[in-house]
Amino acid sequence: MSGLDVFLFLWAASLIFFMKAGFLALEIGQFSHKNSAYHCVLKLVDLVAVFVAYLFVGYGVSYGFETIMPLITGTFDVELGAWWIKMAVFAAAAITIITGGVAERIKILPYFIGALLVAGGLYPLVEHLVWGGGFSSMGINFVDYAGSGAVHLFGGLVGLSAAWALGPRLKKYINGIPQALPGHNVPLAVLGAFILAFGWYGFNIGSASAVGDGLEMVQVAIATTMALTGGILGGALSSRNDPLYTANGMCAGLVAVCSGVALFTPIGALIVGLLAGLQQPFTYRIIEEKLKIDDVCAIGPVHAMSGFIGVICAGIPFLLRDASGVSLIGQIMGAGIITGIALIGGAIIYKGLDLTIGLRVSEEAEKKGCDEGVLQVNAYSKID
């Protein structure tokens, strides 16, 4: 690798790492202030789980166990080190999606253990299939440039599996009818969406394997910009300008564009983002009303469904500059396999944790709020 290529990877890793701040703000703004500090702890401990599990096991599952000892002992070369740090923050992004589905009611220890298991085994299995040659060896022509499938479809579905295992928040359903539980800080949530969008340029541009002449990175940057534009428009139209759906629409568009971001025309990226933004309220209602899953921060529509849309659209020729290397059948097959791994694996991990050590905080702590009920702190000063 050239020094410029190494810088690209480190620049991308830095931006992707900062997306953590965006996830935190976006999610905290969408639920009760009584659980804000507690959610900060979840976001911090899953970084520990991801980086430890990915160093000792996960990267080896994805790309070969011969890489493990050089990484652990520090004897790696520049190429292995650069790839590891970039892919480690990709793993962190996939696993942190889970908190959006389980917020306000999961215990810290089982959440940490679940993140270890997902980061050490389940996610690397999908990563191996998508970027480690697994699908190619199976004869499946699957394109996922920056992770609509490997990161977002996977992370969203694992998060929904965890939310299913947990059960809904105490006041979410009354006589089987879902109740609105408004977030406490809409501007914070919208700010989080903007931080995520900023980091997403590293997510997408940094997925290039090398700097080259720069044309590929420029094409990716333009497609990223048009997709977030379409996502905002779709979110605003389908929700009648609801600020959270509109902000989440921007994120949904960015999720959807990842798979084909190096192939989409600017108009194709705009269409893909628009579709992702439009579907949000309809997908959310299905999850909430039909499946009875309490998806606190809408990871179902924003990550799982938008990721699925992006994977499929990457196989639709009229959206692409060059469709010669893609296959719609391959995209469908890949999406199906990722879905199966995420749902089955996620259900086994989180239901297993629920049956063994228990996933959920006490009813008393949930009523009081996890900040006071578990941590004995307050995120915000009380005004007399």
Which residues contact residue 279 at a Cβ distance below 8 angstroms, ignoring those fewer than 6 apart? Answer: 234, 238, 252, 301, 305, 306, 309
Predicted pLDDT of residue 384: 47
Distance in angstroms (rounded) separating the CA atoms of residues 269 and 243: 22
Residue 173 three-state SS = strand
pLDDT along the chain (384 residues), means of 10: 95 98 98 97 98 98 97 96 98 98 98 98 98 97 98 98 98 95 97 98 96 96 98 98 98 98 98 98 98 98 98 98 94 98 98 98 97 95 65
Distance between CA 254 and CA 234 in Å, rounded? 12
pLDDT (0 to 100) of residue 219: 98
Q: What is each CA distance from 142 to 200, 201, 240, in whole angstroms?
A: 22, 22, 36
**What pLDDT is attached to residue 383?**
58
Domain coordinates in residue numbering, the chain: 3-375
Query: For 153-265, where are the alpha helices, taking DSSP H only?
Result: 154-166, 186-205, 215-239, 243-257
Per-residue pLDDT of 162-212, as tens digits, reads 999 999 999 999 999 999 999 999 999 999 999 999 999 999 999 999 999
Task: Give the predicted TM-score (pTM) of the model.
Answer: 0.97
3-state secondary structure 124-137: HHHHHHHHCCHHHH
What pLDDT is recorded for position 381?
84
Rounded Cα distance between 186 and 142, Å, is: 38
- Tell me, what's the pLDDT at 32? 96
Give the Cα separation of 309 and 235 in Å (integer).
15
What is the DSSP-derived secondary structure letter of residue 103?
T
Architecture of domain 3-375: Orthogonal Bundle (1.10)
